[in-house]
Amino acid sequence: MLTGRTGAAEPEIGYLIGRSHRGRGYASEAARAVLGECRAAGLGRVWSSIRPGNAAKRRIVEGLGLRVDRVERDERGTLLFYMIDLRQVGR
């Protein structure tokens, strides 16, 4: 979990997987576990900011239930802000 672009009250989930270990489900497994811990800690919304060209990360967060909440631009281009409200999931 990162303070990230959204602040400490609504943390951002992120990860970096080495090339030789990609495609094995490690990122999905880790992100799922982190979201579970966030839910257990009583956190509400969790974010992930992703560049549009990062298809692998987009597939992972979409599979975990995050959805695009807003789109912004910065000095590097377009940035998609995915969000999940853990208070609404599983109701």
Task: Flag whether 40 is in a domain.
Answer: yes
The CATH number of whichever domain residue 28 belongs to comes to 3.40.630.30
At residue 20, the 3 state secondary structure works out as helix
- How many domains is the chain built from? 1
Where in the sequence is the domain holding 57, given as residue range(s)?
Answer: 4-85
pLDDT tens-place string over residues 33-74: 999 999 998 889 999 999 999 999 999 999 999 999 999 999
Q: Looking at the whole model, is its pTM more than 0.95?
A: no
What's the CA dihedral at 64, 66, 72, 76 to 10 degrees? Answer: -10
Task: Flag whether 91 is in a domain.
Answer: no
